[in-house]
Amino acid sequence: MILCLVVTLSATSASAKRNPDANRDGVLRILAIGNSFSDDGMEHLPKLLKNMGIENVELSRLYVAGCSLQRHYEFYEQDKSPYLFYRSEAGVNKWVRSENMSLKEALEMGEWDIITLQQASGYSGKYESYQPYVEKLAAIIRQAQPKAHLAWHMTWAYGTQSKHGDFPKYGRDQQQMYNEIRSTVQQMLADCDCFDYVIPTGTAIQMLRQTPANNTPKDLTRDGYHLGYGVGRYAAACVWYESLIKPFTHKSMVGNGLFVLCGDQYADRYIAAYCQQAAAMVVKKPFEVRPIKSVYRLATKPLDNIYFAMDHNRMEKDKDGYLNEVKPFIQRVLGQSPKANIIEEVISNSSK
C-alpha cells in the first residue's frame, strides 16, 4: 500500500508547488544535511517514534561541526567525505553511527522523501551568507532526488549570556538575534522558491524561554548555544516531528509519554507539556512568538505509553545518586498513569 505524504503549510511559510505524494513504499525517509544544531533537533526523534508506536519512519543525518551552507557546497564540489552519518531505521528507532560519508553518497542512498538544510548558527541571521549556496545546494538535491521535498530548519538564538564567538554579530542580544534569524529565513523563503517545509525550532525555543521551562541564563541550552540534553533537545524533537512527520502519520505528538531525564534540566511531565504545546503552536504560525497558556490538563492526562530516557553518563558516574534524584519524578508519572505501558531504556546524553 502506498501512503500519501500530505504537505500542510502555513501562509507564512514556503508554498509547496511539487506533487506532495512523494512517498512510494509506505516508509517516510528523512535526511538532514546539517551540523550540531541538526543533531540537537533530531537526537530524541527515534525515542519519540518508539514511544508513539511509529515504525514506518526512517531518519538519517549528516554531521560536520559548525558546518555552513558554503562548506556543505564545497565538500560536495571537492567530493570530500568528512561527515559522520547517523541512521535510525524504520521500526528499529535507534541511531547507528558511521564515518567518512560524503553528501553525494548520502543523496544516492535510495529515494529520500524529505531533505533538510540549515545555516550554521552564527550566520543564521545574516542573509548575505546564504547566497548563492542555498540555491546551489537545492539544485544539487533536486538533480539527485527530484521527488524529494526540501525543508528548512530554522535554528535558535543563543542564551542571554552566551560566550559564542559569533554572538557579537547580534550585539550580544538574544532578541535581536532571534529577530534577525526570523527575518532572514522569511526573506530566503521568499527569494528561493524551493522549500516545502519550515521546521521552526527557533521560534519554539524563543516561546519556551518565556515559560517555566526556561533556565536563565542558559535559556534551554547546555553551553549558551547548543540545546540542553534534556528539555532543549526534547522540545526540538517535538517541533521536528510536528513539522515533518505528523503530515505523514496524521498523528500529533501532543500528549506523548517520552520523558528525557538527561543533562541538568529534565523534560518532566509538566515541562514536557509546555514543549509539546510550543511545537503544535509554531507549526501553525512559524514566525510568531506567542504566549503558551496553561498546560495543566495536558500535564495530568493519563498516558498509554511511558518512555523514560535515562542519562547514561550519570548512570556510569553515580548510578545510585542519579536514580535517587529521578525516582520522585518517575513515581509521580507512574502514579498519574497506573495502567500505562512502560518503556525504560538507558541512553547516552550525546550520540557523539
**Predicted confidence (pLDDT) per residue in 280-314, tens digit:** 999 999 999 999 999 999 999 999 999 999 998 89
Nine-digit cell at 91?
Answer: 521500526
User: Does a structural domain hold residue 301?
Assistant: yes
* Residue 297 contacts residue 247 (beta carbons within 8 Å): no
- 145: domain CATH number is 3.40.50.1110
Rounded CA separation 351/63 (Å): 11
Reported as a single tens digit per residue, the pLDDT across 85-118 is 999 999 999 999 999 999 999 999 999 999 999 9
pTM: 0.92
The Cβ of residue 144 has, within 10 Å, a number of other Cβ atoms equal to: 16
Runs of H (alpha helix) within the chain: 36-42, 45-52, 69-77, 103-107, 133-144, 174-191, 201-208, 231-240, 246-249, 269-284, 296-300, 312-336
Report CA torsion sign: 249, 250, 251, 253: positive
Question: For residue 280, what are the domain limits?
Answer: 28-347
> Does residue 60 or residue 315 have the better pLDDT?
60
Judge whether residue 344 has pLDDT over 80.
no
> Does residue 7 or residue 167 have the better pLDDT?
167
Closest to 234 measured CA to CA, from 258, 214, 200: 258
Percent over 70 (pLDDT), the chain: 91
User: Does a structural domain hold residue 185?
Assistant: yes
* Residue 221 contacts residue 201 (beta carbons within 8 Å): no
Judge whether residue 27 has pLDDT over 60.
yes
Q: Which is it for strands 149-153 and 197-199: parallel, antiparallel or unpaired?
A: parallel
Judge whether residue 122 has pLDDT over 90.
yes
User: Does a structural domain hold residue 17?
Assistant: no
pLDDT interval class at 231 (50, 70, 90) = very high
pLDDT at 25: 79
User: Does a structural domain hold residue 6?
Assistant: no
pLDDT interval class at 343 (50, 70, 90) = confident
User: Does a structural domain hold residue 342?
Assistant: yes
Mean pLDDT of the chain: 91
Percent over 90 (pLDDT), the chain: 88
Nine-digit cell at 303?
Answer: 498516558
Rounded CA separation 310/260 (Å): 7
Judge whether residue 7 has pLDDT over 90.
no
| Average pLDDT rounded to a whole number, residues 23-40 | 92
Per the structure, the count of domains in the chain is: 1
pLDDT at 69: 98
pLDDT at 24: 63
User: Does a structural domain hold residue 5?
Assistant: no
Nine-digit cell at 87?
Answer: 541512521
Reported as a single tens digit per residue, the pLDDT across 320-341 is 999 999 999 999 999 999 999 9
Reported as a single tens digit per residue, the pLDDT across 38-78 is 999 999 999 999 999 999 999 999 999 999 999 999 999 99
User: Does a structural domain hold residue 11?
Assistant: no
User: Does a structural domain hold residue 23?
Assistant: no
- 85 conformational bin, left if phi > 0, alpha if psi -120 to 50, beta if neither: beta
pLDDT at 317: 93
